[in-house]
Amino acid sequence: MLTLLLMALAAAPISDSLDRGVSEELARERAEALSAVRYDLAFTVPVSRQQPVEGTLRLTVTLATPRRIVIDFSAPRERIRSVRVGDDAVVPQFVEDHLIIPAATTRSGDNRITIEFTAGDEALNRNDDFLYTLFVPARAHLTFPCFDQPDLKARYTLSLDVPAGWETVANGPEAGRETSGDRIHVRFGETRPLPTYLFGFVAGKFSIERATRNGRQMRMFHRETDAAKVARNRDALFDLHASALAWLEDYTAIPYPFEKLDFILIPSFQFGGMEHAGAILYNSASLMLDESATQNQLLNRASTIAHEAAHMWFGDLVTMRWFNDVWMKEVFANFMAAKIVNPSFPTVNHELRFLLSNYPDAYSVDRTAGTNPIRQTLTNLNDAGQLYGPIIYEKAPIVMRQLEMVVGERPFRDGLREYLKKYAFGNATWLDLIRILDAKTPDNLAAWSRAWVEERGRPEFTTGLRLTKNNTIQRLALTMNDPLRRGLVWPQRMRVTLGYADSQKELAVYANTRETVVREAAGMPRPLYVLPSGGGLGYGLFLLDEESIRYLLANMAHVGDALTRGAAWVTLWDNVLEGRVAPGAFIDGAIHALPDESDEQNTQRVLAYVSRAFWRYLPREERAARAPALEAALRAGIERANNTSLKSAWFSAFRDDVLTADGVSWLERIWRRDEKIPGLPFVETDEIDMAMELAVREAPGWQQILQTQLDRTQNPDRKARFAFVMPALSADPQVREQAFDRFRQLENRRREPWVAESLAYLNHPLREADAERFIRPGLELLAEIQRTGDIFFPSNWTASLLWGHRTPGAAAIVRDFLAQELAYPERLRWTVLSGADDLFRAAELSAR
């Protein structure tokens, strides 16, 4: 069947239709037919960024039989200057963003294709005196003609012709250079096999630091002008790279796979880092730290470096076959980074950090009707951006930790070694890895992977506790349900915590069937609470029994360790959303417990939950009734906090949640600088936030407050942003309507964070009733927003549009929209369903 299909493809006429971007079908066809791909690339970079970058490509590719060769290149007709196959000039065919070399001009064996072209600027990140490429996930074809898919790995030979005084760095080592006049010509040695998204180069005015660690010379390219700052950071940066590489060589039993390692610090880089093989790019600000750097910043820096270093094996040496497995490389990089870095930061509660930075965000999507599996289908690389979200970033790490626990630490490492060795310099899928690991465990990993990775959603757990006459446990069991009724079971290691007056018992269980009996519990005294998410381990919705809920809400301060408390709060919040805990009772419990909370991570998380309960789940009258007590508790928290970051967390919660006239006027005095909070200095961004919160509350003189803040703001970017958001804060509904109508034009949506902030204020809970008129048109714009915006914009837009709404009427608008849009793209439908989850729940609770 497969062979027949491929023959049909090979025989297809060249006029065959081709999609824009790289479709899965095109990628498969090319991966089958093409081999031994080599790119010999030369770029000439002019001194002025207004002048185009010109390029020449000498492409070598081996064919089994003569056939058409489809090459990706954006706007090919305008940018191609000449094409030759061998020594013959060829007129290619142009379809969408492809150019097609006709079958008649090709032959079996090696084909040499020479293309002269003008490079597009979109992926070149050109600045006045430097540029850097960023081709992930499939943007190389915006710059040069190529096969822009991850499983056609190729060797690259690069030469760059740049203005004198510029430095250059690329994946391969420098092989030679000539200077002539005001130009330098640099040649780089041929690389090992790489996918297009990992090929890259940087050119421009940079300073270079060099150091040797463990016998390896490394270079750091940077543009920092503060010499003291460079001197303070340079050794630490080289050391962090060296220790990460050494750790990874040991763990993988594979020496660093590339010829050399350089790293380049880019000002205002889009990401934290990008793992170009042998030439890692970083955001300069997160690596070059100030003297005042916090423990958290140091931990984040070390984690970023370890993450990118891990990619040299996970992603670069072995690459996913298709971008539906992009999550794998990201999860492995984080997983390794935690192993490498965490032991050097003993004062941080890493398990709590893992819990709070992954579970709540993963649940925020996985509990909704709009959730998606970790592994998704992807029919065209143009849509690769839509794969990203909390399921990849936050659920996948939880799943990977479970996998290691199920397989065992040693066998897991051995499995990874085997996988890296077997697929070195090639490609592999998630299923290839699962097959290797499956051989190392009696568990059925294919079934395990289906529930966790291939399907969407999370399990639902209930506990059954039976007591004997003399009040000891006769039987404790966990029941696991699939709320989507597919009969799935999510095998997982869990710890069930039994709470007593001044101690806890943690019982380890492996839940791999519908019912799991906690055998160890039998005979133990009756507990005050049962928490199946103990140790922050279990993943799912844990429906707590009433007695446990009551005890935890009243006595969280007596729960002995921070990790159990963190897990209990995350679980209690889920029970709020399920209607089993009243939002007001949750707020009371938090106010009662927080003064005794010793871990700042828990305080931050609980304050965020309180804010959500307050705005999204309390009816208006109850909100007003509870405001004085909440504000008093938050102000007490500000006073009590013994460090700046904790003080700031309490203050931010006050600023966002304040509702009473007294509270608002205190906030205003702070904003006017009439009153100070000892130990909490404010910077420009803090005052901007305060002014906006005052305005949306229509504090007396709100117009003057906004105008004063605009005048006060010094930083030009922040000033422009504030001016943009201002109309959304107006008390005049007509001004707000205009503020919304702006977003219909693409040019008014370019600054996406500005738009999201404006939209969120337009739909603030205090404007709920008036803002209902924005819901329908906001949803109607979503499809266009997805087409024209960045990858996270559709979900941010939806979240900002819906966060302030909680009525059944608002919920009906969303449901009606989805019901009428029958042909709505499935992924966008999911975005709406996820974004509307709180609204649906709140509406349902209020209708009860």
Could you give the strand order of the β-sheet that contains 98-101, starting from the edge strand earlier in sequence? Answer: 69-72, 98-101, 93-95
| Number of residue whose CB is nearest Zn ion | 333
Partners of residue 266 on adjacent β-strands:
283
- Comparison of 326 and 688: residue with beta carbon closer to Zn ion: 326
DSSP strand E in 521-614: where? 529-534, 541-543
Closest by CA position to 800, among listed 781, 783, 778: 778
Tokens 């349900």 appear where?
A: 481
Burial class (CB in 10 A: 0-12, 13-18, 19+), 335: buried
Closest CA to 129 of 164, 77, 178: 164
Nearer to Zn ion, 333 or 473 (CB): 333
The residues near 546 (Cβ < 8 Å, ≥ 6 apart) are: 580
Separation CA 350–CA 733 (nearest Å): 47
Residue type, 252: T
Nearer to Zn ion, 374 or 653 (CB): 374
What is the separation, in whole angstroms, between the first and last Cα of the chain? 56
- For Zn ion, give the closer residue by CB, 224 or 308: 308
> Which residue, 252 or 763, is less far from Zn ion as judged by CB?
252
Nearer to Zn ion, 105 or 427 (CB): 427
Question: By C-alpha distance, which of 524, 529, 639 is closest to 589?
Answer: 529
Query: How would you classify the pairing of strands 174-180 and 183-188?
Result: antiparallel
Q: Write down the least CB distance from residue 333 to Zn ion, Å.
A: 5
Between 27 and 333, CB nearer to Zn ion: 333
Residue 477-516 contact track with Zn ion, rule CB under 5 A, x = bound? ----------------------------------------
Question: Read out DSSP for 194-219?
Answer: B-GGG--EEEES-EEEEEEETTEEEE
How many degrees, rounded to 5, is the angle at CA 489 between CA 484 and CA 491? 140
Q: Which of residues 413-432 bind Zn ion (CB under 5 A)?
A: none
Smallest separation, CB 91 to Zn ion (Å): 42
Of the two residues 392 and 436, which places its CB atom closer to Zn ion in the complex? 392
What are the angstrom distances between the C-alpha of 257 and each of 240, 268, 474, 544, 611? 18, 29, 57, 50, 48
Residues numbered 311 to 330 that lie near Zn ion (CB under 5 A) are 330
Strand positions, DSSP E, 599-717 = none
Whole-number minimum distance, CB 273 to Zn ion, in Å? 7
CB of 320 vs Zn ion, minimal distance in Å: 12
CB under 8 Å to 807, separation ≥6 — which residues? Answer: 768, 772, 843, 846
The upper half-sphere exposure of residue 599, i.e. CA atoms within 13 Å in the direction of its Cβ, equals 24
The DSSP line for 808-824 is HHHHHHHHHHHHH-TT-
**Tokens coding 700:** 């007396």
Q: Is the peptide bond before 753 cis (omega within 30 degrees of 0)?
A: no
Closer residue to Zn ion in complex, CB, 333/593: 333
29 or 330, CB closer to Zn ion?
A: 330
Q: Does 333 bind Zn ion (CB under 5 A)?
A: yes
Bridge-based pairing of strands 279-283 and 261-266 is: parallel
Determine the Cα–Cα distance for residues 583 and 207; give it in Å rounded to an integer. Answer: 56
Total residues found in the chain within this entry: 848
Q: Which of 726-764 are b and which e, b meaning 16 or more Cβ less than 10 Å from the residue's Cβ?
A: bbbbbeeeeebeebbeebeeeeebeeeebbbbbbbbbbb
Question: Is residue 843 at the binding interface for Zn ion, with CB under 5 A as the rule?
Answer: no
3-state DSSP assignment of residue 222:
strand
Closest to Zn ion by CB, 328 vs 537, is 328
Question: How many residues of this chain bind Zn ion (CB under 5 A)?
Answer: 2
Map residue 251 onto helix, strand or coil: helix
Nearer to Zn ion, 186 or 317 (CB): 317
> CA-to-CA distance for 547 and 527, rounded, in angstroms?
10
> Is the Cβ of residue 401 or residue 655 nearer to Zn ion in the bound state?
401
Nearer to Zn ion, 330 or 657 (CB): 330
Classified as helix, coil or strand, 616 is helix
Q: Helix, strand, or coil here: 141?
A: helix
Q: Which stretch binds Zn ion (CB under 5 A): 333-341, 370-378, 687-695, 823-831?
A: 333-341
Instruction: Identify which of residues 269 and 573 has a Cβ nearer to Zn ion in the complex.
Output: 269
CB of 330 to Zn ion, least distance (A): 5
Ranges within 69-108 binding Zn ion (CB under 5 A): none
Chain residues binding Zn ion by CB under 5 A are 330, 333
